[in-house]
Amino acid sequence: MKKDTIVLYPSPGMGHLISMVELGKLILTHHPSFSIIIFITNAPYNTGSTAAYINRVSQTTPSILFHHLPTISLPLDSTIESPHLETLVFKLLHLNNPNVHQALKTISQSSTVKSFIIDFFCYSSLDFAHNLKIPTYYFFTASAACLAFHLYFPTIHKNTTKNFKNLQTHLGFPGLPSILASDMPKPMLDRTDEAYDEFLYFSASIPRSQGIIVNSFELLEPRPIKAISDGLCVPNASTPPVYYIGPLIDSTDGRKNGPGSNESVCLDWLDSQPSRTVVFLSFGSLGLFNAAQLKEIAVGLEKSGHRFLWVVRSPSEPKDKTRRFLAPPEPDLDALLPKGFLARTKVRGLVVKSWAPQVKVLSHKSVGGFVTHCGWNSALEAVCGGVPMVAWPLYAEQRMNKAVLVEDMKLALPMDESEDGFVTASEVEKRVKELMDDSDDGIGSLRKRIMVMSEGAKAAMSEGGSSRRALAELAESWKLGNQII
């Protein structure tokens, strides 16, 4: 008898892979009759090192099988005209389609593929999966607000012919706060950029799936969830079923990069700090600043007088086209930070290179605030840890996440920047002080709200909770079998 198998297809990148693995673990925990296969795509650009993480998952969860697809060759030099990493991702995954198609056919010979779950970057695999009569779902590793944005994007596209980067106006998306046109994801600002078309095609393809799985929970995002369920985001077609099954976070901190990690250094230092006195600054695996901005952050932290744990990466090098998509070298802290900074702040500050065990840090009793790039995984980790945030978006959909976190959820303070994106030391100092102020008004009320959401996250994932019910409904649809639309 053939096994009932769920195939997961993440785009290359640690954040996307970790979320898919956590989804696989969740399915197996509550519905162990399924087998899980995860496709792995090797990328020629910086996605974070995944080998150690995959090995660790294989050892701890042997019922998750990884299928490594053949390597795709892709140039990284100036022949890639678009400056956006997303363009490279879409190119790679289009080239990957024959490999994915063949892998699905092979798996189908020995298993019954009950569901093919794809990352949004993998949208081009939807058609051949349908041709194979395999029910295909999107797994949205971003927020429900981001899903509402993408569902409505084709409508916004039809309503204007101008580039969004040239519009000094706000755009209305159902269920979202007003979004400044220039705050849309950078690859979507210019209609002539090939990345724009890719996002448009993806957005238009979502209603053709059998369903959408979202890493969020109902209490956290009631406005966009209601807008989606009311059909407001897809005005001229039906919206597929949406399943909010989060928050899914990796408690083992899978972003760890091999031996000699900073885990014990960070946690031992935090153990020696008073409760809720440390502000944690980390900006994701792709969040890079230039040298001038790094120095400005350092000055602001020093002037704030607060304890801090800061993850520093080597500065970005936008002029070096041969390295723009590759991992940066290890940072030289003495060269990058102001003279004497490390010595002057060593009693109350810890600067670590490139990586920290973020989930464990945000769960530590000493951490009282988080300056974040607003990546959705990081936001969920802060919510689960009950840690209020300062929102400093850098790339992807993060400016939209900032608007939602600050204006709708009221779980974060905004980091204000100049028109060119630069943030001054005085702004860093101001926001850190405001974040770490524990009074009953201002930050105190923000801290209370995020504690409510932290408890709500636990409730959602508990027996009878909203996310557990959504997962049960999804699994039941797989067991009964879905008809391809």
255 occurs within a structural domain: no
Distance CA 109, CA 343 (A): 63
406 occurs within a structural domain: yes
Contact indicator for 256, 285 with CB cutoff of 8 Å:
no
> Regarding predicted confidence, which is higher, 81 or 427?
427
Q: What is the mean pLDDT of the chain?
A: 91
Q: Please indicate, yes or no, whether residues 464 and 346 belong to a single structural domain of this protein.
A: no
The tens digit of pLDDT for each residue in 228-283 reads 999 999 998 999 999 999 999 987 765 454 334 689 999 999 999 999 999 999 99
240 occurs within a structural domain: yes
The tens digit of pLDDT for each residue in 389-401 reads 999 999 889 999 9
Q: Please indicate, yes or no, whether residues 404 and 476 belong to a single structural domain of this protein.
A: no
Q: Please indicate, yes or no, whether residues 305 and 234 belong to a single structural domain of this protein.
A: no
Q: Structure pTM?
A: 0.93
HSE at residue 148, side-chain half, CA atoms within 13 A, is 27
257 occurs within a structural domain: no
256 occurs within a structural domain: no
Q: Please indicate, yes or no, whether residues 193 and 309 belong to a single structural domain of this protein.
A: no
What does the block give as tokens for 475?
């699994």
- How many of the other CB atoms lie within 10 Å of CB of 279? 25
Q: Please indicate, yes or no, whether residues 429 and 466 belong to a single structural domain of this protein.
A: no
Distance CA 457, CA 175 (A): 21
- Give the pLDDT confidence score for residue 243 in this predicted structure: 98
Distance CA 414, CA 392 (A): 7
Q: Please indicate, yes or no, whether residues 122 and 208 belong to a single structural domain of this protein.
A: yes
- How many of the other CB atoms lie within 10 Å of CB of 132? 15
> Regarding predicted confidence, which is higher, 378 or 482?
378
Nearest 10 degrees: Cα torsion 415, 421, 422, 427: -20
What does the block give as tokens for 484?
């391809």
Q: What is the DSSP letter of 236?
A: T
What does the block give as tokens for 323?
């390295």
Query: How many domains are there within the chain?
Result: 2
**Cα distances (angstroms) measured from residue 332 to each of 65, 297, 303:** 39, 16, 22
Q: What is the DSSP letter of 207?
A: G
Q: Please indicate, yes or no, whether residues 397 and 465 belong to a single structural domain of this protein.
A: no
- Give the pLDDT confidence score for residue 280 in this predicted structure: 98
- Give the pLDDT confidence score for residue 173 in this predicted structure: 97
Distance CA 121, CA 41 (A): 12
59 occurs within a structural domain: yes
85 occurs within a structural domain: yes
The tens digit of pLDDT for each residue in 280-333 reads 999 987 788 999 999 999 999 999 999 999 999 999 765 555 455 566 788 999
Q: Tell me what percent of the residues of the chain surpass a pLDDT of 70.
A: 92
- Give the pLDDT confidence score for residue 257 in this predicted structure: 45
Strand partners, 312: 353
pLDDT band at 483 (very low <50, low <70, confident <90, very high): low
Q: Where are the alpha helices (DSSP H) in 11-65?
A: 14-30, 51-60
383 lies in which domain range?
Answer: 262-458
Q: Please indicate, yes or no, whether residues 285 and 369 belong to a single structural domain of this protein.
A: yes
Contact indicator for 312, 281 with CB cutoff of 8 Å:
no
3-state secondary structure of 134: coil
Q: Please indicate, yes or no, whether residues 111 and 128 belong to a single structural domain of this protein.
A: yes
- Give the pLDDT confidence score for residue 284 in this predicted structure: 87
pLDDT band at 84 (very low <50, low <70, confident <90, very high): confident
- Identify residue 96 by its one-letter amino acid code: N
Q: Please indicate, yes or no, whether residues 311 and 281 belong to a single structural domain of this protein.
A: yes
Q: Considering just the CA atoms, what is the radius of gyration of the chain in Å?
A: 22
113 occurs within a structural domain: yes
Query: What CATH number did the domain enclosing 468 receive?
Result: 3.40.50.2000
Distance CA 388, CA 439 (A): 13
